[in-house]
């Protein structure tokens, strides 16, 4: 996208919206009501999947597009314009990956963040119509950033859920100094696809402990030197991916076949061939919009001699 | 604790247990049942608060100590011994900090991780007796690492929740080269206490975006150079603290008084006096077991000239 387009007010429909979450507005029902006027915009979604233009942008409509019975979530402000998303009464849980996952790869950074927020919130609302503490109905509060139990004895509030997940490279350096990285295949991966290992952080764990546990459980390796790299929102349905690099001194794999279909050590040359889609590549790497891709690119680009 | 004690099998009652979460056992009801024999141990808790020896260790009992009606959670294995915790049918939500928070400061690293896991799981079970999707009753599964809806049409599984929270130093360097750090007071802080700002990560955000949003919302500052430092499990009730350092070039504060009672810039000298409890200190820093303490210690110890 050219910078001139981004800065132009006249190309409103084509630019990606930079949305201020405007936390202070959420607790003010009058302010939210006032933002629901003619200037309000609605993120168009197909259930909880994105609707995307040919040139890879989210599509926005008006509040007149909302199906009756849908709840509205306040995404934030684009300037002084209220931005909303609709929560469908029900959506197919089966579409959790597939279309949305592919579409996510077409979106730029701002649009991906907006879509990720809307999709995670919509999924959360649709699955929290009842109070998990007492079983009574819940109602939306704070512009969609809270739900409240309607039982007057309980009244428990509940907030959108984000599940932290660790995803990591594991490096082993052979006796003759060759760096290799561990890649694995989840049980439901597409044919030929390999990626970094990953798993949910459990209560009581740090990032670094979760990395060590997951690699030990899934591949039988003891790791050290765990180093955080970067994070990514991943709305399938609502994860915070925490990407790390780790090392091991003992490369003998003991694969847990209930978790992984396969895992193997990959040389820099073989990873380069896969990442660059060269003839003779031996596997498909994770797609560019997945944080695993960035993590593997970092590992590949780091000079062999560099310590971390 | 002396190393000889840690390594001695004869001081079983006094050592801190190093618990293997033994994920593979959870899905095997027969294995869990077999682990519930005479050798099983139960983490003693007062509701969801810890019970601690005079020398700062967790106390373990037997499964005979479990109140009838309590659910058992499988914490993992200490060697071949099953370690469990009991979920009280109800506990006072009001004890969320106070006693448990103070007690946590007495525990070593291993014991804190064990207590954090047990407390977070117990709180989660007690608040998830019903399915948030359909309102039906739920039952425990996988040794307490899952609950399942009992409605045969719904059958939605739900997993323990961990809420990621960012906590951060913000640094400003004055025109004459003095480094200062931003500290704030939450609305419910003890008298005199100041700490690092913090806030929940929202759906759709990265760690780095959440740091920038929280500091802008609470203190009116635009930050850059956000750098992850470390993480900590914080079981009040179930948070993953993600500690970061950030910088700002424009130090004018605009404090959101709905979030913070106060915030101010602190010099290295004043922070040192507070952390070392020197005479004339101007505030109380966060306690040593809080990750904010570690973060402020890192900031203090970093030489002025070092870039990050």
Handedness of CA A87, A91, A93, A95 (dihedral sign): negative
Same domain, B92 and B172: no
Q: Calculate how close chain A gets to B303, using CA atoms only, in Å.
A: 20
Q: Which of A114, A130, A207 sits opposite B132 (nearest CB)?
A: A130
Q: Is B159 within 8 Å of chain A by CB?
A: yes
**Considering the domain boundaries, does residue A153 fall inside one?**
no
Going residue by residue through chain A, which has 308 residues, state the pLDDT in tens, using 9 for 90 and above.
Answer: 333 333 333 344 557 899 999 999 999 999 999 999 999 999 999 888 889 998 899 999 999 988 777 889 999 999 999 999 998 876 655 455 567 777 778 899 899 999 999 999 999 999 999 999 999 999 999 999 999 999 999 999 999 999 999 999 999 999 999 999 999 999 999 999 999 999 999 999 999 999 999 999 999 999 999 999 999 999 999 999 999 999 999 999 999 999 999 999 999 999 999 999 999 999 999 999 999 999 999 999 987 655 54
Same domain, B120 and B20: yes
Residue B89 has pLDDT above 80, yes or no: no
**Considering the domain boundaries, does residue B285 fall inside one?**
yes
**Considering the domain boundaries, does residue B144 fall inside one?**
no
**Considering the domain boundaries, does residue B13 fall inside one?**
yes
Same domain, A107 and A204: no
What confidence tens digit (pLDDT) does each residue in B124-183 have? 999 999 999 999 999 999 999 999 999 999 999 999 999 999 999 999 999 999 999 999
Same domain, B66 and B185: no
| Mean pLDDT for the stretch of residues B28-41 | 95
Domain count, chain B: 2
Q: Given this model, what pLDDT does residue B90 score?
A: 67
**Considering the domain boundaries, does residue A15 fall inside one?**
yes
Same domain, B178 and B92: no
| Mean pLDDT for the stretch of residues B263-278 | 97
Q: Is B294 within 8 Å of chain A by CB?
A: no
A188 C-beta neighbours (distance < 10 Å), count: 8
**Considering the domain boundaries, does residue A270 fall inside one?**
yes
And the tokens for A284? 């498909």
Residue B241 has pLDDT above 80, yes or no: yes
How high does pLDDT run on average in chain B?
Answer: 90
Same domain, A200 and A295: yes
CA distance B137 to B132: 10
CA distance B289 to A135: 37
| Mean pLDDT for the stretch of residues B108-133 | 94
If you measure CA to CA, which chain B residue comes closest to A204?
Answer: B117
Same domain, A114 and A17: yes
**Considering the domain boundaries, does residue B308 fall inside one?**
no
Range list of β-strands (E), chain A: 41-43, 45-46, 49-50, 60-61, 71-78, 81-87, 138-141, 146-149, 157-158, 163-173, 179-186, 197-200, 223-234, 239-248, 260-267
Is the ipTM, as predicted for this complex, more than 0.85?
yes
Q: Given this model, what pLDDT does residue B304 score?
A: 62
Q: Do B162 and A201 touch (CB under 8 A)?
A: yes
The CATH number of whichever domain residue B291 belongs to comes to 3.90.79.10
Domain boundary among B111, B127, B143: B127
Same domain, A282 and A190: yes
Same domain, B183 and B107: no
Residue B300 has pLDDT above 70, yes or no: yes
**Considering the domain boundaries, does residue B103 fall inside one?**
yes
Same domain, B191 and B77: no
Same domain, B104 and B167: no
Domain boundary among B76, B106, B127: B127
What confidence tens digit (pLDDT) does each residue in B178-218 have? 999 999 999 999 999 999 999 999 999 999 999 999 999 99
Q: Given this model, what pLDDT does residue B201 score?
A: 98
Q: Calculate how close chain B gets to A133, using CA atoms only, in Å.
A: 4
* Chain A residues with beta carbon closer than 8 angstroms to that of B204: 113-118, 120, 233, 235
* Ranges A83-87, A276-280, B61-65, B93-97: which has the least confidence: B93-97
* Ranges A6-10, B109-113, B261-265: which has the least confidence: A6-10
How far is CA A289 from its chain centroid? 10
Tell me which residues of chain B, numbers 197 to 216, contact chain A at a CB-CB cutoff of 8 Å.
200-209, 213
| CB B149 within 8 Å of CB B155 | yes
User: Edge to edge, what strands does the sheet with B41-43 contain?
Assistant: B60-61, B41-43, B81-87, B71-78
Q: Given this model, what pLDDT does residue B101 score?
A: 76
Q: Do B217 and A160 touch (CB under 8 A)?
A: no
Domain boundary among A67, A100, A127: A127
Same domain, A181 and A275: yes
Domain around B204: 163-301
Burial (CB count <10 Å: 0-12, 13-18, 19+), residue B10 = exposed
């Amino acid at each position: 996208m050219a910078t001139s387009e981004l800065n132009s007010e006249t190309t409103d429909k084509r630019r990606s919206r930079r949305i201020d979450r405007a936390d202070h507005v959420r607790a003010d029902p009058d302010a939210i009501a006032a933002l629901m006027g003619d200037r309000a915009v609605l993120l168009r979604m197909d259930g909880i999947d994105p609707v995307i233009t040919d040139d890879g942008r989210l599509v926005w409509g008006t509040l007149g597009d909302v199906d009756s019975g849908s709840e509205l979530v306040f995404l934030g402000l684009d300037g002084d314009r209220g931005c909303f998303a609709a929560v469908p009464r029900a959506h197919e849980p089966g579409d959790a990956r597939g279309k949305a996952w592919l579409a996510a790869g077409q979106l730029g950074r701002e649009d991906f963040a907006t879509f990720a927020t809307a999709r995670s919130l919509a999924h959360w609302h649709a699955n929290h119509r009842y109070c998990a503490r007492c079983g009574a109905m819940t109602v939306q509060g704070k512009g969609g950033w809270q739900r409240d139990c309607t039982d007057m004895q309980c009244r428990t509030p509940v907030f959108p859920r984000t599940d932290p997940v660790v995803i990591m490279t594991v490096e082993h350096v052979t006796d003759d100094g060759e760096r290799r990285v561990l890649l694995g295949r989840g049980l439901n991966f597409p044919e030929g696809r390999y990626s970094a290992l990953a798993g949910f952080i459990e209560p009581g764990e740090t990032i670094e402990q979760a990395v060590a546990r997951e690699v030990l459980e899934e591949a039988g390796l003891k790791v050290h030197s765990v180093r955080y790299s970067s994070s990514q929102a991943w709305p399938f349905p609502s994860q915070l991916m925490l990407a790390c690099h780790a090392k091991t001194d003992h490369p003998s794999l003991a694969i847990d076949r209930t978790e992984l279909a396969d895992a193997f050590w990959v040389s820099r040359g073989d990873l380069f061939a896969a990442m660059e889609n060269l003839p003779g590549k031996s596997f498909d790497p994770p797609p560019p919009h997945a944080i695993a891709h960035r993590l593997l690119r970092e590992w590949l680009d780091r000079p062999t001699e560099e310590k971390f």
